[in-house]
Amino acid sequence: MRMTGMKDTDNRKEGLVSEDEMSAAKFCIDYAIGAGASQARVSLNKSVLDSFSVLNGSLDKVMHSADRSIFLYLFADGRYGTFSTNILDRESLGRFVTKALETVRMLAPDGFRRLPSPERTAKDAITGTETGLYDSSYHRIAAEERLSSALSGTIFREETCGNAGFRLISEECEYSDSIDDNYTIDSQGFSGRHTETSFAFCSEMTISDRKGDRYSGYWWEASPAAMRQDLKECSRSALERAVRQIGPKRHRSGRFNMITDSNVSSRLVSPLFSALNATAIQQKNSFLAESLGRQVFTDRLTILDLARTPGKPGSRYYDTEGVATKDGPVIENGVIKEYFTNTYIAGKTGMEPTVESVSRPVLMPAFPGGRGSCLDSAEKRVSLQDLMNECGDGIYVCGFNGGNCNPVTGDFSYGIEGFAFKGGRITHPVKEMLVTGNMVRLWNNLVAAGSDARGCTRWQIPSLAFAGVDFSA
Amino acid sequence: MDKRYFLETFHVTEPQMERLIAAALSHGGDYADLYFEYSTYNDLLLRDGEVSSGGFHIDFGTGIRTLKEEKTGYAYSENTDMDDMTAAAKAASVIAQGDNCGRSRTASSPVSGHVCRDGLYPMAVAWRDSAASSFLPFLKRLETGIFSKDTRVVKVSAKLSYSQSDIMMFNSYGELTCDTRPLGSITASVIFSHNGRNENKTVSRSFRMGAEMVTDTIIDEMISEAVSGIDERFEARRPKGGRMPVVMGAGASGILLHESMGHSFEADFNRKGQSVFSGRIGERICPAGINIVDDGTIRYNRGACNYDDEGIPGQKTYMVTDGVLTSYLHDRVSARWYGTAPTGNGRRESFRFNPIPRMRATYMENGTVPKEDIIGSVKKGIYVDEFSNGQVKIGEGDFTFYVKSGRMIENGILTAPVKDINIIGNGPQALAGITAVGNDLKIDNGTWTCGKDQSAAVSCGIPTVLIDCLTVGGE
């Protein structure tokens, strides 16, 4: 089928942001300073996304998205405000900056609002391609190829499941590719560029068993470079994940070992990063206040922020403020090594400024007896099965259903889906189960961490094993 | 505002819109529509005693959709230049080149149900005409009021967010629809400290209303609510988890309806056979006497819609009537598939998204049982009345919601306070397990936002309800 009407992105070799758009960003800085602002930062974001969705083997939805917007961070008379617009002609931008300045001047002064000092900003994000997340072949992809990729991943018409104890009700697949280009400058001379492409395929399967009960399974693949693999495998994984849930049993409540699959472990790490944010700490909205430099967790827990690993999703050379990222520990052997402290909070609290937030966290493998402690040893590999063997019995969590974590206390409660396991072997899917506890206690009960984080994710969090976790059912 | 205002705002004429529709249908689609949006968003944040940050954001663009049977082509332009919009229209039109395996249906669906044509959210004071500085004293009043009510308060952050959206829709039936939508939200987050322990509480109010919503009255209401129940929060413990009767307090417990059945009643999931309620129209799904509605016609409500985002007038839709499943929530696509009228639930986050079936204000109508009798009937269970979030698995029907506060029930009496627990259940079983419905329906006017692929402002409500058994998290 010939797809016409879809305009391919132009032939520019690198990124999306044009010279004229860069000039528009500079115009905003100059206009703001000329109108009396003391400092300003402009972040210009431009992106294009194309997606082709397939329902039950047939094309169901085509979407083309193209966005660009300017964010203006404005400092004037000791005051500060943030503004954005997607109307970029110069006349409109002039009105936009003027009105932004009026708004800033209405706010209360706050002497700690300022740009980061120039020596802290990145100097090496010049072309946008330094992080190795940009595949220039993106610009050569034709609409026909996108459609072909989307259709190549469907297994709906070949799937015969009449004798397998289930019926395939629906299959939804989506191929998408995108390019995101950020150009950030400030009035102190900082200039940064970050460009990345992304290619993704996802599949969701809904099946019913012989009783008519429905189950769904989801899987995805993503890469900053064009994908070459057989996308049908993605759909087969989604189907397998749906089928394995058939026949869940209600498990008893109690305190068990818990293993979280690498696909979902980040759910338990996220509250730690929220609590390590200096703004939350300053606002007394963190359960990790006054923990910097202290051993809070088991020495088995080490999380590094490896922001500067070219080619790996999540890498970036500068944060929202333009501050240069660097590789280093966030938590090392259970000791808190970093609060994420922006320029404003650093000034307000006297804390050392760092980057605003984590970029590419990597939770290091750990295993009882020291295996995994040697990071460049082949024996450090710790598989999901290793974790199951170590724990013996417990609950293997493959998904979270709702729930939350209280940021002040660290108390959490989540719905889970997964399986009971015994003697290191999965026995049956569990039904309507909850896990409840406290983040500090949970992470002190970390038994082991695998080495199976998925390469396609920004957060490198492997499968994890915990002891003594409260489950309700 | 009249049609001319919208045409001028978007710099287009009706003949130009007709040409765009023609471009969107150039490959044989059977329906197309245009969605023009000009939105301004403002926010003001008070922290550490001062409103020292804030800003505004402008969003402008046109979304163009082509339908071929149930298949969707969608593209948008961030300006209303005819060349760019025509390129978007042609991009959307390619869907009609896909294979034709769907069933052919008539495109037009007459609108049915209760239709509200007068404005649901007229602004006495337009947000765009209001100086942001006029709101600063209210945020300050909120902060000082909370501090003055409880000596354990150590931090207050207060935020006012408001937006005004001009929306113009035009479709291949030649229907032109215009709407101006205000939305204002006030939120206060409070940290309390007592004997070395910290606790938090968040209160909010949100209405589709102009700047007149910001009054001393609403601020004082929020002050009282922010400091109520804090003694209990410091005393609260996790209960012993397990399965038990759950009494859902009136108001915010409407999250139960949103998660346990609202999403499962959205017709896109049912059209694809994915919902646990697929194919069950006409079946009894809960006890007789229970009516559950999704209502876009509540004046000034966060979920109110003069028109949905497909130009269908706002309506009140009975999903469950006397315990029987009577309607799904439809957009034009699913309505055509089911051969019924759209219910005004085709909503979208912005011009960047195609509309899909979404809830508005979802609630259960009153029953007859006094709240005290419902609590009094429970020998051992839990009462819950404050929530933060929820989720559902559409196929399995398993839903959860996170409880910020509640109490244990022992021998018909509310006893020890509880907090920070998740509750899980199965939608069809929970609905069938409703054994009492109170007479105290309350709509909650918090900042409820639904996140099904796109963000949508919604609200919810419920009278006090007893469910015979759900699984409660605990230690």
Query: A-chain residues within 8 Å CB-CB of B58?
Result: 84-87, 96
In a domain, residue A49? The reply is: yes
Total domain count, chain A: 2
- % chain A with pLDDT above 90: 91
pLDDT at A165: 86
Written as six digits, the tokens of A213 are: 């009960």
* Claim: this prediction has a pTM higher than 0.80: yes
Least reliable range by pLDDT among A12-16, A173-177, B377-381 = A12-16
Question: What are the backbone angles phi and psi of residue A136, rounded to the nearest 5°?
Answer: -65, -15
List pLDDT tens digits, range B362-396.
999 999 999 999 999 999 999 999 999 999 999 89
**Which residues of chain B neighbour A267 with C-beta distances below 8 Å?**
none
> To the nearest whole number, what is the mean pLDDT of chain A?
93
pLDDT given at position A370: 62
Q: Give the number of other CB atoms < 10 A from CB of residue A282.
A: 20
Taking an 8 Å cut-off on Cβ atoms, the answer to whether B72 and A64 are in contact is no
User: Who's near A233: CB < 8 A, 6+ residues apart?
Assistant: none
DSSP assigned state of B212: G
**Would the CB atoms of B88 and A434 count as touching at under 8 Å?**
no
Q: Is the dihedral of CA A32, A37, A39, A40 positive or negative?
A: negative
State the residue range of the domain holding A440.
254-472
pLDDT value at position B475?
Answer: 84
* A380 and A444 share one domain: yes
- What average pLDDT does this structure show over B194-214? 96
How far is the alpha carbon of B115 from chain A, nearest alpha carbon, in Å? 30
pLDDT, one tens digit per residue, over B282-299 is 999 999 999 999 999 999
Cα→Cα distances B10→B3, B59, B60, B79, B166, Å = 11, 12, 9, 9, 10
Contact B21, B172 (CB under 8 A): yes
- Say which of A86, A108, A170 has its CB closest to residue B59: A86
A166 and A289 in one domain? no
Q: Say if residue A233 is in the same domain as residue A328.
A: no
Kind of pairing between the strands at B421-426 and B413-418: unpaired
Residues A418 and A337 placed together within one structural domain of the fold: yes
pLDDT of residue A15: 80
Q: How far is CA A381 from the centre of its chain?
A: 24
- By C-alpha distance, the chain A residue nearest B74 is A63
Residue A85 and residue A209 share a domain? yes
Contact across the interface for B389 and A402, Cβ inside 8 Å: yes
Res A305 pLDDT > 70: yes
Tell me which of A223, A243, A263 is where a domain ends. Answer: A243
CA geometry: angle at A37 spanning A193 and A348, to 5°? Answer: 80
Query: Does A138 reside within a domain?
Result: yes
Q: In the predicted model, is pLDDT for residue A376 greater than 50?
A: no
**Segment among A239-253, A327-341, A360-374, A452-466 with least mean pLDDT:** A360-374
Interface list for A 133-172 with B (CB within 8 A)? 143, 169-170, 172
Beta bridge partners of A25: none
Mean pLDDT of chain B: 93
pLDDT at residue number B110: 44
Q: Which residue of B has its CA nearest to A63?
A: B74
Q: State yes or no: pLDDT of A360 exceeds 60.
A: yes
Same structural domain for residues A232 and A274? no
Identify the band that residue B108 occupies on the pLDDT scale cut at 50, 70 and 90: very low
Domains of chain B in start order, with CATH, are 3-42+53-112 (no CATH), 127-169+178-229 (3.30.2290.10), 242-472 (no CATH)
- Given A187, A215, A243, which residue is the final one in a domain? A243
The answer as to whether A345 is a domain residue is yes
Domain for residue A10, yes or no?
A: no
CA angle A416, A420, A423 (to 5 degrees): 145
Report the pLDDT value the prediction gives residue B386, as an integer from 0 to 100: 92
pLDDT at B118: 55
Residue A414 structure tokens: 């989540």
- Residue of chain A whose Cα is closest to the Cα of B46: A108
Q: What is the pLDDT of residues A232-277, one digit of tens each?
A: 999 999 999 999 999 999 999 999 999 999 999 999 999 999 999 9
- Please calculate the CA angle A181-A182-A183 and round it to the nearest 5 degrees: 125
Task: Examine the domain organization and report whether A195 and A218 are in the same domain.
Answer: yes
Phi and psi based region of residue B195 (left: phi greater than 0; alpha: psi -120 to 50; beta: remaining):
left
Mean pLDDT, rounded, for A67-78: 96
pLDDT at A13: 53
State pLDDT tens for residues B311-337: 999 999 999 999 999 999 999 999 999
d(CA B38, CA A38): 31
A243, A276, A305 — which closes off a domain? Answer: A243
Please report whether residue A11 resides in a domain.
no
- Least confident segment among B94-103, B243-252, B317-326, B329-338: B94-103
Alpha-carbon distances of B214 from A219, B137, B211, B299, rounded to whole Å: 46, 10, 6, 17
* pLDDT mean over B164-181: 96
Element (H, E) at B60: strand B50-68
Number of A to B CB contacts under 8 A, please give it. Answer: 259
Percent of chain A at pLDDT > 70 equals 94
Tens digits of residue pLDDT in B428-453:
999 999 999 999 999 999 999 999 99
Close Cβ partners of B205 (under 8 Å, ≥ 6 residues apart): B185, B186, B213, B218, B221, B222, B445, B446, B447
For residue A270, what are its two tokens? 């996220």
Contact (CB, 8 A) for B305 and B329: no
pLDDT at site B334? 97
pLDDT of A130 reads: 96
Strands annotated E in A289-386: 303-305, 328-332, 335-336, 361-363
Q: Give B109-145 pLDDT, tens digit per residue.
A: 444 334 434 599 999 999 999 999 999 999 999 999 9
- Chain B positions touching A406 (Cβ under 8 A) are 200, 419-420
Of A4, A224, A23, A19, the C-alpha closest to A136 is A224
Q: Are B378 and B362 in contact (CB under 8 A)?
A: no
Cα–Cα distance measured from residue B248 to residue B238, given in angstroms and rounded to the nearest whole number: 18
Closest residue in chain B to residue A286, using alpha carbons only: B198
Residue of A401, A412, A416, A441 to mutate when probing chain B, most B C-beta within 10 A: A401
Query: pLDDT at position A10, please?
Result: 42
- Assigned domain for A3 exists: no
All residues of chain B having their beta carbon less than 8 Å from the beta carbon of residue A218 are: none
Name residue B370's amino acid: P
Please report residues of A whose CB lies closer than 8 A to that of B54: 81-82, 103, 107
Q: Specify whether A207 is located in the same domain as A295.
A: no
Q: Average pLDDT, stretch A327-348? A: 98
The predicted pLDDT at position A158 comes to 82
Tokens 């003697």 found at: A423
Say yes or no for a CB contact (<8 Å) between A85 and B57.
yes
Co-location of A222 and A318 in the same domain: no
Residues A223 and A313 in one domain: no
Question: Which residue from B minimizes the CA distance to A8?
Answer: B91
Q: Would residue A367 count as lying in a domain?
A: yes
Predicted pLDDT at B103: 35
Domain shared by A260 and A223, yes or no: no
Q: Say if A122 falls within a structural domain.
A: yes
Is the CB of residue A271 less than 8 Å away from at least one CB of chain B?
A: no
ipTM: 0.92
Q: Which of A290, A295, A266, A269 is nearest to A280 (CA)?
A: A290
For residue B451, give every residue at least 6 positions away whose Cβ sits within 8 Å of its Cβ, in sequence order, or none. none
What is the distance between the alpha carbons of residues A308 and B229, in angstroms, rounded to a whole number? 47
For an interface test with B, which of A73, A112, A214 has the most B Cβ atoms less than 10 Å from its Cβ?
A: A214
Say if CB B407 and CB B383 are below 8 A apart. Answer: yes
Say yes or no: A261 and A234 in one domain: no
CATH number at residue A91: 3.30.2290.10
